[in-house]
Structures are given as structure tokens and as C-alpha cells.
Amino acid sequence: MSKKPIVALLLLACLGLCLYPCARAEGMDQAPAPAIWLWTEDVPYMDESPDQDPPFLTAYAAEGAEIALIICPGGGYHIKSRLEGARIAMHFRERGFSCFVLDYRVDPGNPLAPLADANRAVRVVRAMGYRYVGIMGFSAGGHLAACAAVHWDRGNSRASDTIERVSCRPDFLVCCYAVTSFVTFPQQGSAQRLLGEAYPDPALLVYFSPERYVNAETPPAFIWHSALDAKVSPRHSMLLAEAFSKAGVPYELHIYPDGKHGINLAKKYPFASQWPDECARFIDAVCAPDGLAAQDAADIEDAEDAGN
């Protein structure tokens, strides 16, 4: 089921996608990494984001990988952090995962645009033939990843765009010091940047509070935070974990006693620096032949068969 990078890129070309020219690894001394447009035309909400490039993925593919990881850098929906993109992707690629850094829209004009980008990214990567596709995010990027894990669909079998026929449900979620609610623990900066002129629309604040939408079909999650985070309270991660617990969805929660906000791989912190190892073990376990992702896929297929 796995695809080598060159085969995956050829498949994307056949599906009407194209490479984004010369996307260079962020702050890293290496050759440009292959990158992929999410849409080649008719990008949703693009008229409301006229000054931005269309969204794209930068690929860090691992040969023979069956598991793909989409990475959403943080930045308060205003920027995308250079510390939470390429270096994260290269770290997890060394562990055998193909990684794709998502360049999603910020200050988007339409608050639905970043979520559309994340949903489309899952479809695009899944169409490459990976057995499992997960999504990881940091801070506001973690908020986006969590939204993608609760606001998804199984694809439209009648769509003329073949990518839109593919499910955008991630197989697992990784939230790193993420914003998880605009209501219970308001995060005004991220909310204002995302909602723009619509802020503070109550319905949108609720819709973009992913802790409110966790249910039995939400994919399993690895969630971590620093207890000393002064920018995004660790209560956000605990709130999301509580929602997973109430829904009966498997999750793993770590609140590390050291660190601060925005520590990415946390190499300087003895406790928080354990998160990449613990996360990789979680992903491997979820995606094992008898793991949670395989069980979820079987359950969803059974539910679809029952509905037909």
C-alpha cells in the first residue's frame, strides 16, 4: 500500500495537481524539498485571501513509509513558525514517517479557509496511497489540526475532482501545546486573527472550539503541553483530553513539568524532550495491523455498508 516518493508525485500529477517550485526547508541547510499545490484551480475562499499564495504541502517523504504525517506549524493564525515545520518533519522522517508541512492560509479573510486547507491536505496525502494519514499541529496549528480531526467528511463519490472523492478524516491526531477552545478558555489573539471581521460571532467561536465536537468517530489523539506554558494554558490540552475521555476515544496526554510555549522538539528540556519518542511510539501503536486506526477503519467501513 505504501508508495515511494516519485510514484506518489506522479500520481498527484495524474490527479491534476502540480509541484510548487523550489520550496526550501525552513532555516535548514539542505536542498529544496518537493512541494505540492493543494488545488491547481478554483481554490475555495481565495477571493477573500487575494494577497496570499494558494496553500501547498512541502514533502519530506520517507522511502517505503506506510504512515504519513501532515504538520501544521503554529503562529496565532498570523504567521507560520519556522521552528515548527521543516525541522519537525525531518525529525519524524528519520523515524520512518513521510511528512508533509502544510502551508495553510493565515489572516484568511474567511475563517473556513484554513480548515479547508487542512481537510484538503488529508485528502491529497491519502490519495498518494499511504495506509494511514495523521495530522499534527503546534499552538494555533494544533488548533487547526484538532478542528480537522472533528470537522471532516468521507468524501463525495460524485465529485468531478477525484481528490474530493477521498475521505479527509485523519487516522490520528497529535496536538502540541495547542489551543483547543475559543469559548471555555478564550484565546483572543488566535480567535481574532482566524475570524477576522466576524469576531466575536458566538456560533463561529463554538464551531472553532474542537473540544465541543469530539465524538465516537474522532480519531485517537496524542496530546502534550508544558505545565509552565504562559501563552496557551495547559488547561487547553486537559480540556481536549477530557472531551476524548467522555466520548470514549483513546488518547494519550502528557503535561510535562518543564518547558514553555513554542518549544517544538524541546531538546533543552529533560522532561518535555521525551515527547517525540512517546509520540512516535503512540503513532506506531495506533497504526499497527491490530491497532486503533485499523479498528477505526473497519468500524467506519461497517457503518458505511450498513447505511447503503
Q: State pLDDT tens for residues 112-142.
A: 999 999 999 999 999 999 999 999 999 999 9
Could you give the angle at the alpha carbon of 254 between the alpha carbons of 240 and 256, nearest 5°? 125
Cα–chain center distance at 256: 22
Higher pLDDT, 291 or 19: 291
| For the ranges 8-17, 44-53, 253-262, the one whose mean pLDDT is highest | 253-262
> Nearest Cα to 182, choosing from 216, 241, 120, 232?
232
Strand positions, DSSP E, the chain:
35-37, 56-60, 67-72, 98-103, 132-138, 172-176, 221-226, 251-256
Q: Residue 297 — very low, low, confident or very high, per pLDDT cuts 50/70/90?
A: low
pLDDT score of 23 more than 90: no
Q: Residue 233 — very low, low, confident or very high, per pLDDT cuts 50/70/90?
A: very high
Which pLDDT belongs to residue 34? 73
What would you measure as the largest C-alpha separation in the chain, in angstroms?
A: 53
Which pLDDT belongs to residue 298? 60
Which pLDDT belongs to residue 29? 45
**Which residue do the cell numbers 516518493 mark?**
5
The full set of domains in the chain, from first to last, is 5-307 (3.40.50.1820)
**Mean pLDDT of the residues in the chain:** 89
Which pLDDT belongs to residue 28? 44
pLDDT tens for each residue of 132-178: 999 999 999 999 999 999 999 999 999 999 999 999 999 999 999 99
Q: Distance between CA 34 and CA 153 in Å, rounded?
A: 28
Kindly state the average pLDDT of the residues 223-227.
Answer: 98
Which pLDDT belongs to residue 273? 98
Candidate from 25-39, 178-192, 211-225 with smallest mean pLDDT:
25-39
Which pLDDT belongs to residue 10? 36
Cell numbers linked to 6: 516519485
- In DSSP terms, 259 is beta-bridged to none
Contact, 283 vs 172, CB < 8 A? Answer: yes
> Nearest Cα to 44, choosing from 117, 103, 124?
117
Which pLDDT belongs to residue 12? 46
